[in-house]
């Protein structure tokens, strides 16, 4: 018996009947030889962590575009926080931590530069619109490994696709758990970043939220996590008081932070920058890198431009925009020795 087989056997003994067992996966688009050490979900997690798109998350906006200071969240730190919260709940509910972690690590692979500002720009200009969760699946299955994709399992891809509201429920409890973990993470770290940016103060957080969930980030996260662990059984649910407080907190954040003048002004710039880049590359597809020119020939210029721009980091998008659209000062070349004598 291999190490992988022993792990799969252990899962059937130790995990809940609601868990997604690794040896019961619905498989991959392309069949592969099993690893002797890692289960299918462990391999998916490792493939995601080692892929190019995952590394680029460290230079992609969470809420604040180009913040001054080292302590503001990026897409990468957000992803790690989602993973930690989701794994805590998975362990408490005896679900698959490996599947949970793989989904959490991959859920934002398709996010644009400048966060939701970039997503808004592509959604407004791309035929058929743009959703980062769908793009995350495309990154994993079509764009990574020079077009070969990561060949992830059905359960991981489904959890990535369904982590956003409006996309239906994931087929696994692990996937539904990550959706909650994503909301818990971003709401609480966005509060912390907004206080650091002096957009809000801790005293402004609604009184009912502080009474129900607590006054600190740690207390709020613990309250929501414990509510989900206590209330979940046949499905993943949050208790009514905590869910109502979360909704009130979300409305507060949208009114005071996400739609605030300081955030909205920078988001407008990010949105317009992304749209300008998109228009340029649709009109000049020959300027795209080789792999995206191939996509243009196979799936159209719009698809290729969208794939290229959505994968950019904030700083790369800004540098490329400056190169394409911002005039540079011109310096005369040095006069050769003896010229003009």
**pLDDT attached to residue 165:** 81
C-alpha 106/C-alpha 296 separation (Å) is 25
Torsion, CA 119, CA 121, CA 125, CA 127, rounded to 10: 0
263 Cβ partners below 8 Å, 6+ apart? 63, 64, 199, 257
User: pLDDT by residue (tens digit) across 172-211?
Assistant: 999 999 999 999 999 998 899 899 888 999 999 999 999 9
**pLDDT attached to residue 208:** 96
CB atoms within 10 A of CB 175: 27
C-alpha 55/C-alpha 68 separation (Å) is 21
Q: For the chain, which residues score pLDDT lower than 70?
A: 63-71, 332, 334-341
Task: Count the alpha carbons within 13 Å of 296 in the hemisphere toward its beta carbon.
Answer: 20
**pLDDT attached to residue 330:** 72
C-alpha distances out from residue 76 to 51, 61, 251, Å: 13, 9, 25
Q: pTM higher than 0.95 for the full model?
A: no
Fold adopted by 39-201+260-323: Hypothetical protein af1432 (1.10.3210)
C-alpha 174/C-alpha 94 separation (Å) is 10
**pLDDT attached to residue 182:** 96
**pLDDT attached to residue 147:** 94
């Amino acid at each position: 018996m291999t190490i992988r087989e022993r792990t799969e056997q252990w899962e059937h003994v130790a995990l809940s009947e609601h868990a997604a067992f690794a040896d019961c996966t619905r498989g991959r688009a392309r069949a592969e030889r099993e690893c002797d050490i890692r289960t299918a979900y462990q391999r998916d997690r490792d493939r995601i962590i080692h892929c190019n798109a995952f590394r680029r998350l460290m230079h992609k906006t969470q809420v604040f575009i180009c913040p001054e200071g080292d302590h503001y969240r990026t897409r990468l730190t957000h992803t790690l926080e989602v993973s930690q919260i989701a794994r805590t709940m998975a362990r408490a509910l005896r679900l698959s931590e490996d599947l949970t972690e793989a989904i959490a690590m991959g859920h934002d692979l398709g996010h644009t530069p400048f966060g939701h500002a970039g997503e808004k720009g592509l959604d407004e200009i791309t035929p058929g619109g743009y959703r980062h969760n769908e793009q995350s699946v495309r990154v994993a299955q079509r764009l990574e490994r020079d077009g070969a994709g990561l060949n992830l399992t059905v359960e991981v891809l489904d959890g990535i696709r369904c982590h956003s509201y409006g996309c239906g429920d994931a087929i696994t409890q692990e996937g539904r758990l990550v959706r909650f973990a994503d909301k818990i993470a971003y709401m609480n770290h966005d509060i912390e970043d907004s206080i650091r940016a002096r957009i809000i103060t801790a005293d402004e957080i609604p009184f009912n939220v502080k009474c129900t969930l607590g006054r600190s980030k740690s207390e709020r996260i613990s309250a929501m996590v414990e509510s989900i662990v206590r209330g979940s059984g046949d499905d993943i649910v949050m208790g009514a008081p905590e869910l109502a407080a979360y909704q009130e907190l979300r409305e507060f954040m949208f009114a005071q932070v996400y739609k605030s003048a300081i955030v909205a002004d920078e988001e407008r710039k990010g949105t317009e920058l992304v749209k300008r880049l998109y228009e340029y590359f649709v009109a000049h597809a020959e300027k795209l890198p080789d792999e995206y020119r191939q996509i243009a020939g196979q799936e159209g210029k719009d698809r290729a431009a969208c794939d290229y721009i959505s994968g950019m980091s904030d700083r790369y998008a800004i540098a490329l925009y400056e190169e394409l659209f911002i005039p540079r000062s011109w310096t005369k070349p040095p006069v050769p020795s003896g010229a003009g004598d």
